[in-house]
Amino acid sequence: MVAHSSTLYDKSHRHEEASHDRPRHIRVLRRLGRREVGPHQVGYSGRVTVPAADGTPLLADHYQPLTEGDFPTLLIRSPYGRGFPFASLFGFAYASHGFHVVLQSCRGTGGSAGEFTWWLNETDDGLAAVAWLREQPWFSGDFGMVGLSYLAYVQWAMAMDPPPELRALVVQVGAHDPYSTAYPGGAFALENSVIAAVSMVHQGRGALRFVRALIRLQRKLPSVVRSLPIKDAYVPAVGQRVPYIDGLLGNPDRDAPFWHGTDIGATAERLEVPTKVIAGWHDLLLDQNLQQYARLRGAGCPTSLLIGPWTHTSMLEVDGPMVLAESVAWLRAHISGDRSGLRESRVRVHVGGVDEWRDLADWPPPAVSRALYPTLGAGELGAEAGDDAGRLADTPPEASEPVGSFRYDPANPTPSIGGPLLSRTAGVRDNTELEARPDVLTFTTGALSEPLEVIGPVSVELWVAAKAGSNIDIFARLCDVDESGCSRNICDGLFRLPAFTSDDPVAVTVGLSSTAHRFRHGHRVRLQISGGAHPRFARNTGSGEPAATATRLVATDVTIHPGSVLRLPQVT
C-alpha cells in the first residue's frame, strides 16, 4: 500500500541514516553550518503513496523527529510541490520541533496523479489522507494542520467535515473565498492572478524550471499588462494558456456556476477546532483573515489572531522565527496540551509608524470614528500646511462646488505602487511620484500637533459623478506624509461602480481594509483618490465591454462632490 524512495527509520539506526535521507537542499544547508531550528534531528521518507478519495495515488513526503517517543502529526496539503521552500519551511522546521509532518501534493500537482482543479476535491482528498494516517504505526491519534495561501484553504476544506482526530489549525495568510481574491472590489486582480498562475504551473516542476518561469514572467509582464484583450495577453507571461486564468476571466460575476461551492468561509461559523489566524497588513487576503477571525469568535471557537507588517510573500522571510514560534505554540497547546508557549492576549498586532507590537483583548479594539472631510478649504486638523487646495478638514465644506475632479484615461492608466501584491514591489512604498500625476487627487491635513493612532477598519464615503453611461473604478488610499513630504501608503481599496444612469452624483463607499498605524507628531494624514491602480487591478476600459475581451478604451471625467468623508478608527 505504501511506496516510498527511502525507508522509515528503525529506532536503532535513525541517527546514522538521517543525513543521507534528507532532501538535497536540506543536506546542503546543514553542511553550510545551519543549525536545526528545533531540538530534534529530522528523518525523511520521500514519495510516499497516499490514496485519494477515489483511489488516485497522491504523493507525500514524511518528516519525523529522530527521538524516542510518540509525537503528534501535522498534515500539510499543497499544490505547489514538496520541494523548496516548503520542505524546509514546513516539513523540516516543524519536524525539528517534535511533529511528524506529512507534506502531500494535491492531485495533479507535484507528481501526484489525477487532474488538479482549483478548490475542488480538497475536502474528500484531505479526509482520505486522514484515513491513511490512521493506518500508520507512528500515528498517535491526534493531528493538526498548518500552512499559508492555498495550504490554508485546504484547512478550511478539511474543517467543513472535521475528523475526530483533528485538534488544531493554523491558517497563515490564507483565503476562504476565491472570488474575492480574484475580483477584490469587483475588478479583476490582474497582476496577482498572473503571478499565482506561474507559481501553480511551474513551482512543482523543479527549481530550475521554476526559476526560468520567474525570469520569463519578469521579462514579459510589463508588455503583457499593457496588452488587450486580457484573455490572450497573459499567455506569454505564464508560458502557456491556463484553464484557471481562463475560468477567472470568463466568470466575473459571483453568481456564476463556476464559483458555486468555492466560498467556504461559513465553515468558521460552526467550527469547534481551535484555529489560529495569522495575517499581514499588506497581504491581499487580510480582509478574509479578519472575516475568519470574526466568525470564529462569533461561534465561540478557541481562536487567536496575529497581524504583522507583512506582504503575502514576506511573512516567512521577515519574521519567520516569530511566525514559527507562534504556530508551534498553538499546535502544541491544542494537540499535546502543552500551553507553556501560548501568549496571554488573544490578539497581537504590529503598529506601523512606530514599529511596535501591541497585545489586544480582541479585534477590532474599541475606537472612536474620526471623520475627516475632503475639501478645498484649509484643513482644521493640526497646523496650517500652506496650500489650501485638497485638504482634509474636521468639518464638512460649506460650499456646494466639487472638491476635486480628474480624467481617467485607460490608455495611460494610473499605475499601482506598493500595497498587497505578490511581487517584490509590494508593501509600503513612496507614493510621491504617483501623487504628482494629474489623474490622482490628494486631500491632506495640516501637520499634526499630537500623534494620531488609528487601529481598525478604514473607509471613505464619496459622492461621485460622471457622465451618464460611464464605467469607472474608484481607488482610495490612506497615506502617512512625513516632515520631508514623503507620502507612504498605509491601506487602500477599490470599488468598481455600475454604469452611471445619469449625470447626478452617486454615493460610493470604498473599504480601505484595516490597519494599525500611528501618525507621528508633525506628520500629515493624506487621502488619495484615483480611477485605478494598474496592473494590480485590470484597468477599467470605460467601454462597458467584458474585462476578458475588452479592447476599446474610453476616457472618463470623474468629479468628487461635497459630503464625502474619510472615517478613521481613532484609538484614544
Categorise residue 71: left if φ over 0, alpha if ψ from -120 to 50, beta otherwise. beta
Name residue 352's beta-bridge partners: 517
Q: In what order do the strands lie in the sheet with 303-311?
A: 42-51, 57-65, 100-105, 73-78, 143-148, 166-172, 275-282, 303-311, 347-351, 356-360
Where are the domains positioned within the chain? 1-141, 189-251, 368-570
CB burial class (10 A; 0-12, 13-18, 19+) of residue 135? exposed
N- to C-terminal Cα separation, the chain: 62
Cβ within 8 Å of residue 368, ≥6 positions away? 569, 570, 571, 572
CATH class of the 1-141 domain in this structure: alpha beta
Categorise residue 391: left if φ over 0, alpha if ψ from -120 to 50, beta otherwise. beta
pLDDT given for residue 216 in this prediction: 84
pLDDT given for residue 24 in this prediction: 58
Looking at 160-256, list the stretches that DSSP marks H as alpha helix, in order from N- to C-terminal side: 178-182, 190-202, 207-224, 230-233, 235-238, 243-249
Q: Which three cell numbers stand for residue 192?
A: 496577482
- Give the mean pLDDT per block of 10 residues along the chain (572 residues): 32 35 52 61 95 95 95 96 89 96 95 90 96 97 96 97 97 96 96 85 70 81 87 88 91 96 96 98 98 98 97 85 95 96 96 96 97 74 48 91 95 97 93 96 97 98 97 98 97 97 96 98 98 96 95 97 97 87
Name residue 441's beta-bridge partners: 529
CATH class of the 368-570 domain in this structure: mainly beta
DSSP string, 150-183: HHHHHHHHHHTS--TTEEEEEEES--S-HHHHHS
pLDDT given for residue 384 in this prediction: 40
Residue 138 contacts residue 86 (beta carbons within 8 Å):
no
The pairing of strands 506-519 and 556-570 is: unpaired
Domains 1-141 and 368-570 share a fold: no
pLDDT given for residue 199 in this prediction: 78
